[in-house]
Amino acid sequence: MRVREGQPGPVLRRLASTVDAVRTIASRARRAVRGWALADRFAARGDNVVFDPDGVYSFATIELGSNVDLGYRPTLIAARGRIRIGNNVMFGPEVTIRGGNHRTDQVGLPMIAVQKQPGDERYDLGVTIEDDVWIGTRAVVLHGVTIGRGAVVGASAVVTRSVPPYAIVAGNPARVIRLRWPVQTIRAHEVELYPPDQRLSAEELAALADLPGAADPSTVPSATKLLTTDAQDR
C-alpha cells in the first residue's frame, strides 16, 4: 500500500501502531514457545544453539555442535543420512541442506513413485559441516558434501562437492574462489584456536598449497617443513 502525507490521520496511526505492537509481541511469544518445544527434538545439540522455530527440520537426523546459528527459515532435511554441524557455525537466511537424493534411474515408473530399497544408501550420504563455517544467504548444500573447517560458502551457491578447509566457494555449481588466507596464516590461525591434537596436519595444510590465495608456491612450506614447525609448536 501507499501511505500519503497526512493519511491516515493521527488517531488511526496510533491505533495501527498499537495493533502492530500487540501482533509483534504475540508473534515473538509464539516463536519462543515453539522453539522451547522443538529444541530437544534434534538428535544432538550443544550449548548456545540458535534456530528459527519456523524453519524446516528432520530433527532426528540432525546433530548440532555448540555456538551454532542456523539463520532465518532454513531447510535441513535428511531422511536416512545425517546432517552433522560442528561448533561456531553460522548460516545466513534461508539456507537449504539436503542430506539425501531421489532416484531417477527406475524405468517404467514416474519418479514420485520410486521407493528406496535396502542398499540404496548411496542416495542418502548426509552432509558434514565442520567447525567455524559461514554459509551465506540461500545457499544450497547437497548430500555427500563435507564443508571443511573455516570455509565460507557464498550467497546462493549450490555446493555439490566437498569444500576444502578455509576455502571461499561461490557459484552454481560452487567452486573455490580462493583461500581465506595464505597457508602460513591458516597455520597460525590454527595454533591460536585449536590444541595441537586438533589442528590440521602438515599434510592437510600442504594440500591447500595449489588453491588460489595460498601464496606464491615458493613461499608455501613443504610438508616436511610444516611437520618440523608443527612439532616445535607442540
CA distance linking residue 192 with residue 186, whole number of Å: 10
DSSP secondary structure code for residue 86 in this structure:
-
Confirm whether 143 is a catalytic residue: no
Determine which one of 14, 30, 102, 225 is catalytic.
102
Helices then strands (H, E): number in the chain? Answer: 4, 17
Provide the angle, in degrees to the nearest 10, between the axes of the packed helices 223-233 and 183-193.
20
Q: Which three cell numbers stand for residue 195?
A: 590444541
CA atoms within 13 A on the CB side of 179: 23
d(CA 37, CA 196) in angstroms, rounded, equals 39
d(CA 166, CA 170): 13
Distances (CA, A) of 23 to 13, 16, 28, 105: 15, 10, 9, 49
Read off the C-alpha cell for 128: 558434514
Residues with catalytic roles: 102
